Amino acid sequence: MLSMSNYPCTSQAQALAEINDTNRSLKHHASTRTIHWDDNDPEHPYNMNFKTKWLAVITVSLGSLCVTCTSSIYTTTYSQTMSEFHHSQEIATLGLSLFIWGMGVGPLLLSPLSETLLIGRFLSGFSGSAFLSVAGGTVGDIFPRHELAFPMMIYTASPFVGPEIGPLLGGFINQYTDWRWTFYVLLIWAAMMLGLVYLFVPETYQPVLLSRKAQQIRKQTGNPDILAPNEKHTLPLRTMISQSISRPIMLLALEPMCLSLCIYSAILLGIIYLFFGAFQTVFESVYGFQLWQRGLSFLGLLVGMIFAILSDPYWKWRYRRSEKNHAALGNTGSHSMPEWRLPPAILGAPLVTVGLFIFAWTTYPTVHWIVPIIGSGIFGAGTILAFSGIFTFLVDAYPTYSASALAANSFTRSTFAGIFPLFGTQSKKVLTRALHDDL
């Protein structure tokens, strides 16, 4: 029993208050009840109905498509903006690079000519990166692991299909109207996506849903000691921000496998963005395509990526077969290994190389224009397969820090993809001179 005899009279009241606070705290911790999900809880995201789940997946995938389409559609405005603002090709290309960097890295301070337009591009990419970061988690929240492969394939493909849609739309817009309509169309699309997200994408983050459930139970029962798990232990915002920045960097520095896969995927995305300049040069200088026709030439990449997406049932079957074989050998414990996610990337890697060689070796007037487009389609299929295998491997290999692993990949990809178009401008000039010499 706590005694008051050792306290001076002037502080007895204060000491009594402290003792009462301590006793109340001990009593509170003893009486606190933590709630969890019940079996088949209707409020659990996994138990949403089929229509709600797929409306959410389609909506966030279209939103991701919108953001990445915004990155590439800008390239079709080069000729008009260069003429109106009197700047060089390199300055125009910075608008593409800044958008990509805005999606993957922190603020970058560049002050070239045409400053307002370029800063707007950076802020657009920076804002879009927030959507891309959260949307993937939404898909993972509403599907259990054994159902996740196909919806994640749909969402994963959208950021890489978007850059091919951009030149296709932008080619028609900039061929027949003012370049400003490129951004008017994007504003209309973004406004529509805002409405669709509000209508069809509910809250899916389980800690938040459990907090709401605990709050509802407290209100119904009048018991303030019912808490959700995340309400018992909270980290300061400063600590959370520090961890979100440091963990991806640590994974890149300390995990060779993560670093290797991130560099490989970064090179692939950089090559995709190099295509935006290469297609303009090849199909204008060699085949005499107009702007809208050059936009349509990206359909090869798009079709190849769609075929890769449609191959998902085969990869799902291979993964399940690996699980069954593993269990048949009498292995105990986890029946899943991250390496089983890599076969799509193993097939995608040679397809990327073959597609690039076909495109490079067939861009001559004596070769029909469909041949390099077929090569780009093979490259597109290989790219999607490689990205799919890499992303799912990172999630499986680092389950506790999967968000940090994907953030490390996004950081690396955006850095490379922003740099490649800058030296691609010089490569384009050399290629143009070589093509004219050949012609």
Give phi and psi for 226, each to the nearest 5. -90, 120
Q: What mean pLDDT is predicted for residues 17-27?
A: 48
pLDDT at 31 over 60: no
Q: What is the pLDDT of residues 393-431, one digit of tens each?
A: 887 788 767 767 877 888 888 888 888 877 766 665 555
DSSP string, 159-175: HHHHHHHHHHHHHHHHH
Residue 211 lies in a domain: no
Domain membership of residue 343 (yes or no) is: yes
pLDDT in tens, 57-102: 888 888 888 888 888 888 888 788 888 888 777 777 777 777 787 7
| Packed helices 149-176 and 312-328: angle between N→C axes, nearest 10 degrees | 160
Contact 439, 364 (CB under 8 A): no
What was the pLDDT predicted at 338? 82
What's the pLDDT band for 131 if we cut at 50, 70, 90? Answer: low
The SS3 of residue 323 is: helix
Confidence of residue 26 (pLDDT cuts 50, 70, 90): very low
In total, how many domains does the chain have? 1
pTM: 0.74
Mean pLDDT of the chain: 77
**What is the C-alpha to C-alpha distance for residues 291 and 297, in angstroms, rounded to an integer?**
10
Confidence check: pLDDT of 377 > 90: yes
Average pLDDT for residues 335-340, to the nearest whole number? 76
Q: pLDDT: is 180 or 160 the higher one?
A: 180
Does residue 119 have a pLDDT over 90? Answer: no
Statement: residue 358 has pLDDT above 90: yes
As a whole number, mean pLDDT of residues 352-366 equals 90
Please tell me the predicted confidence (pLDDT) of residue 381.
Answer: 93
Confidence at residue 278, expressed as pLDDT on a 0 to 100 scale: 78
Residue 150 falls inside a structural domain: yes
* Structure-model confidence comparison of residues 79 and 390, the more confident one: 390
Instruction: State pLDDT tens for residues 209-252.
Output: 778 787 787 788 777 777 776 666 666 767 766 777 788 888 88
Confirm whether 324 is domain-assigned: no
| Whole-number pLDDT of residue 371 | 94
Fill in the amino acid letter for 35: I
Nearest CA to 278 out of 300, 309, 263, 261 is that of 300
278 vs 370, which has greater pLDDT?
370
Confidence of residue 112 (pLDDT cuts 50, 70, 90): very low
Name the β-bridge partners of 226.
33
What per-residue confidence (pLDDT) applies to 323? 81
Q: Which residues contact 215 (CB under 8 A, 6 or more apart)?
A: none
- The 10 Å Cβ neighbour count of residue 27 is 11
Please check whether residue 428 lies inside any domain of the structure.
yes
Q: Compute, in degrees rounded to 10, the torsion defined by CA atoms 351, 353, 357, 358.
A: 10
**Domain with 95 in it:** 41-202+235-316+336-438
- How far from 122 is each of 171, 225, 241, CA to CA, in Å? 22, 46, 22
Q: What is the pLDDT of residues 258-281, one digit of tens each?
A: 899 999 988 998 888 888 777 877
Give the DSSP letter of residue 134: H
Is the residue at 3 inside a domain?
no
Query: Could you give the CA distance from residue 196 to residue 66 in angstroms, rounded to a whole number?
Result: 13
What pLDDT score was predicted for residue 239?
76
Average pLDDT over residues 113-124: 56
- More confident: 432 or 48: 48
Phi, psi of 127 (to 5 degrees): -70, -40
pLDDT in tens, 183-210: 899 889 989 988 998 898 888 777 777 7
Q: Report if residue 15 sits inside a domain.
A: no
CATH of the domain at 189: 1.20.1250.20
What whole-number distance in Å separates Cα of residue 203 and Cα of residue 197? Answer: 11
Alpha-carbon gap, residue 114 to 122, rounded angstroms:
13
Q: How far apart are CA 74 and CA 96, in angstroms?
A: 7
pLDDT of residue 348: 93
Sorting pLDDT into bands at 50, 70 and 90, what band is 109?
very low
What's the distance, CA 55 to chain centroid? Answer: 19
pLDDT, position 328: 80
Asked, for residue 373, whether it belongs to a domain, the answer is yes
pLDDT bin (cut points 50, 70, 90) of residue 7 is very low
Per-residue model confidence (pLDDT) at position 432: 52
Q: Provide mean pLDDT across the span 21-45.
A: 61
Please tell me the predicted confidence (pLDDT) of residue 114.
Answer: 33
pLDDT at 101: 77
